[in-house]
């Protein structure tokens, strides 16, 4: 088994053969992937070395000290945090070899085609149809439907897509999982303007989109099971990001408090202290969750982290607006833009307050996540569900 000393040696060899100062960014990242130092816990030949996940920090520390470029993980977060682990678990060898390298290097951006106008919180009720083309020798699928709340669709090359392949089965069982080329004919991306004035996410219309059967992930009808891997990883990636102490939004408010003593009141001080402690507890809990992930797949605990992330962001941004008073009511950049990234720290308080409202919706609504925590973490009785055994085509919509 690869140990820390061997990883340091391999990393230094990479740096010697591909000096960051004289090697192009993309070339360096490709060489890093090929050396197995992209994500060390992945299999050999797929960017890893079958090493313990905890040893990734050894590689990252060496590369950071040498000034090596990273793969801009925020820009390709959906690919890294959602598509890659799902492809690794359910993909064929050909799919893994085709998609993982350009995904990790950042040559191909990914988005997620899951939610629909009538199937958001109740995702399994989705109605986008994938029908096998009987005239196609390769068994292509023809997809028609609409997806919504799709972050990065306007810059994505690929999408992870779930669609209904058998309407005669109950809603959780007639779904299949596909990899959709966003440049194919019939894929139309339209911006959705948000309360911030921007349109970082989209609605996507699929009209007779042809997807090869070779781009199906998992077995036909197993799409819900495959999607659970995606969703569990999504919630960990949203709520469990590694942060330093006072990282994230709490650090912004704490700095304002220290630098602007004229804004302070006793009541605001008490609220800031409470939220600071809660943010630190959430940060340490996320670190413990990441340590648990070293041993296996993410579980429902990630839903709890995502819940905490959403609530804290909304309360902290609200406190910041109150702390700044009239100044906090200003929002200086309400313009229609199509950003690739959500940047909470590089904007003003008005933006953070408005954008944080979406945190309790994206990545699973807080109401749904509360049910997951109650049932799968605390072991409480399930909510009554009278549609689990009813064919999807017979459901009221």
pLDDT tens column, 345-393 = 678 898 899 999 988 988 778 888 898 888 888 889 988 878 878 898 8
- Percent of the chain clearing pLDDT 70 (strictly above): 94
Concatenate the DSSP letters of all residues of 270-290 into one string.
HHHHHHHHHHHHHHHHHHHHH
Given a contact cutoff of 8 angstroms between Cβ atoms, the answer to whether 323 and 257 are in contact is yes
What confidence tens digit (pLDDT) does each residue in 91-139 have? 999 999 999 999 999 999 999 999 999 888 789 999 999 999 976 556 8
- Cα–Cα distance list, 131 to 113, 117, 204, 211, 382 (Å): 17, 21, 18, 10, 33
Q: Where in the chain is the domain with CATH 1.20.140.10?
A: 228-377
**Is residue 14 pLDDT above 90, yes or no?**
yes
What confidence tens digit (pLDDT) does each residue in 221-240 have? 999 999 998 987 776 665 55
Residue 305 sits at the vertex; the CA angle it makes with 301 and 311, to the nearest 5 degrees, is 140
Residue 170 sits at the vertex; the CA angle it makes with 164 and 176, to the nearest 5 degrees, is 30
Given a contact cutoff of 8 angstroms between Cβ atoms, the answer to whether 357 and 195 are in contact is yes
What predicted TM-score, i.e. pTM, was given to this entire model?
Answer: 0.87
Q: In the structure encoding, which two tokens stand for residue 52, read together?
A: 């313990």
- In the three-class reduction of DSSP (H, G, I as helix; E, B as strand; rest coil), residue 149 is classed as strand
* 234 given a catalytic annotation: yes
Q: Distance between CA 225 and CA 218 in Å, rounded? A: 9
- In the three-class reduction of DSSP (H, G, I as helix; E, B as strand; rest coil), residue 187 is classed as strand
Concatenate the DSSP letters of all residues of 98-148 into one string.
HHHHHHHHTSS-EEEE--BTTBSSSGGG---EEEE-TT-TT--EEEEEEEE
Concatenate the DSSP letters of all residues of 35-47 into one string.
TT-SSTTSPBTTT
- In CATH, the number for domain 228-377 is 1.20.140.10
- Cα–Cα distance list, 240 to 81, 229, 237, 284, 294 (Å): 11, 16, 6, 10, 14
What confidence tens digit (pLDDT) does each residue in 151-179 have? 999 999 999 999 999 999 999 999 999 99
- In the three-class reduction of DSSP (H, G, I as helix; E, B as strand; rest coil), residue 163 is classed as strand
From the candidates 62, 108, 203, 234, give the one annotated as an active-site residue: 234
Q: Where in the chain is the domain with CATH 2.40.110.10?
A: 79-91+109-221
> Regarding the domain delimited by 79-91+109-221, which CATH topology (the fold level of the hierarchy) does it fall under?
Butyryl-CoA Dehydrogenase, subunit A; domain 2 (2.40.110)
Q: Which residue has the tokens 């202290």?
A: 273
pLDDT at residue 297, as a whole number: 57
């Amino acid at each position: 088994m690869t140990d820390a000393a061997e990883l340091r040696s391999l990393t230094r060899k990479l740096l010697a053969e591909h000096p960051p100062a004289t090697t192009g960014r993309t070339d360096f990242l490709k060489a890093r992937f090929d050396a197995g130092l992209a994500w060390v816990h992945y299999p050999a030949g797929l960017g890893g070395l079958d090493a313990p996940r905890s040893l990734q920090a050894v590689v990252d520390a060496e590369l950071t000290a040498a000034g090596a470029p990273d793969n801009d993980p925020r820009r390709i977060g959906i690919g890294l945090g959602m598509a890659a682990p799902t492809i690794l678990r359910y993909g064929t060898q050909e799919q893994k070899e085709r998609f993982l390298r350009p995904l990790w290097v950042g040559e191909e951006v990914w988005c997620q085609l899951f939610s629909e106008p009538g199937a958001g919180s109740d995702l399994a009720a989705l109605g986008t149809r994938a029908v096998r083309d009987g005239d196609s020798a390769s068994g292509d699928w023809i997809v028609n439907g609409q997806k919504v709340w799709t972050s990065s669709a306007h810059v994505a090359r690929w999408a992870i897509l779930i669609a209904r392949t058998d309407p005669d089965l109950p809603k959780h069982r007639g779904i299949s999982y596909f990899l959709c080329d966003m440049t194919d004919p019939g894929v139309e991306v339209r911006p959705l303007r948000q309360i911030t004035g921007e349109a970082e996410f989209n609605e996507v219309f699929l009209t007779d989109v042809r997807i090869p059967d070779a781009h199906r992930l998992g077995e036909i009808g197993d799409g819900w099971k495959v999607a659970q891997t995606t969703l569990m990883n999504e919630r960990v990636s949203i709520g469990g990001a590694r942060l330093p102490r006072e990282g994230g939004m709490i650090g912004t408010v704490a700095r304002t408090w220290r630098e602007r003593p004229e804004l302070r009141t006793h009541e605001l001080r008490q609220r800031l202290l409470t939220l600071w402690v809660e943010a630190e507890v959430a940060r340490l809990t996320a670190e413990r969750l990441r340590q648990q992930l070293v041993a296996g797949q993410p579980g429902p605990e990630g839903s709890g982290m995502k819940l905490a992330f959403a609530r804290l962001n909304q309360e902290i941004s609200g406190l910041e607006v109150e702390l700044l008073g009239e100044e906090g009511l200003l929002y200086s950049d309400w313009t229609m833009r199509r950003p690739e990234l959500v940047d909470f720290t590089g904007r003003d308080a008005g933006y953070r307050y408005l954008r944080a409202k979406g945190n309790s919706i994206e990545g699973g609504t807080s109401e749904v996540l509360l049910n997951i925590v109650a049932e799968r973490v605390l072991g409480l009785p399930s909510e009554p569900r009278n549609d689990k055994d009813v064919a999807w085509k017979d459901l009221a919509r």
